[in-house]
Each structure stands twice: as structure tokens, then as C-alpha cells.
């Protein structure tokens, strides 16, 4: 079972990495030509939301095997803290302190908001499913 878990997490990571690259590249290409790293920003915020959704729904809808694959594999590879950190450092090196602080604060605030929103929406879905189950059973 451990070998299968490692392979599944690796596959999840592979898919997360490819999706991160494609989405980040596309968003960077279509975003206004600013120095703001829209690609990394979008990937990290959407990843935080997805992570929260999986955590919230996981206990009821997703077997623990797949929770590990999604959280450690897919979202672990999809989101990119190291690129986020590098983009902040590069701004500081270029004496764009205000830009670095704005990017860091906006990313952290919206990252936590995305995670909380995923948890909240997952909770709403769970309540709706439980009500639907009770309705069907009665």
C-alpha cells in the first residue's frame, strides 16, 4: 500500500506542477503588462481555496487515500511558496519595497481568505447533502 501511495502522490504532484505551469504562464500572458506576478498570485490563491475545499469535504466525500494524494501531491505541487518568496526578494533587491509589501500582504490576506472560503463552501455543501439525505430517507 505504501508504494501505491507514493506513486499516487507523485502523480498528483506531476499533475499539480503541470497545471501550475500552464495556468501561471497563461495568466501572465493575458494579464496587463504590469510588474505584478499575476500568475503566481492566481495559482496560490486558487490553490488555497481548493485546499480548503478538500479539507472541508474530505471527511465525508473523499477517502483518506485521496485526501493525501490531493493535499500532499496535487496542491503541494500546484501552489508555490518558493516562487512567491523569490518574487518578493526580487522586488526588494530592485528597491521596490512598497510593491514587495503590497504583494506579500495581498497574497497572505487573500490566501487565508481563499482557504477560509473553501472551508466555508465545503461546509455549506456538507449541510446541503445531509439535508438532502434526510429528505430522501423520510
**Residue stretches of the annotated binding site:** 76, 79
Q: Can you tell me the distance from the alpha carbon of 121 to that of 111, in angstroms, rounded to the nearest whole number?
A: 15
> What single-letter DSSP state applies at residue 15?
H
Backbone angles phi, psi at 36, to 5 degrees: -75, 130
- Binding-site residues for Na(+): 76, 79
Distance of CA 62 to the CA centre of its chain: 17
C-alpha cell at 83: 516562487
Amino acid at each position: 500500500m505504501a508504494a501505491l501511495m507514493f506513486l499516487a502522490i507523485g502523480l498528483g504532484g506531476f499533475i499539480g506542477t503541470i497545471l501550475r505551469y500552464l495556468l501561471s504562464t497563461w495568466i501572465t500572458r493575458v494579464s496587463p503588462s504590469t510588474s505584478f506576478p499575476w500568475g503566481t498570485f492566481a495559482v496560490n490563491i486558487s490553490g488555497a481555496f481548493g485546499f480548503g475545499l478538500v479539507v472541508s469535504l474530505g471527511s465525508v466525500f473523499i477517502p483518506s487515500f485521496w485526501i493525501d494524494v490531493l493535499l500532499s501531491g496535487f496542491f503541494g505541487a500546484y501552489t508555490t511558496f518558493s516562487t512567491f518568496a523569490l518574487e518578493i526578494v526580487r522586488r526588494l533587491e530592485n528597491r521596490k519595497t512598497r510593491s514587495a509589501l503590497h504583494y506579500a500582504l495581498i497574497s497572505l490576506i487573500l490566501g487565508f481568505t481563499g482557504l477560509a472560503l473553501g472551508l466555508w463552501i465545503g461546509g455549506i455543501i456538507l449541510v446541503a447533502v445531509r439535508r438532502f439525505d434526510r429528505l430522501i430517507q423520510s
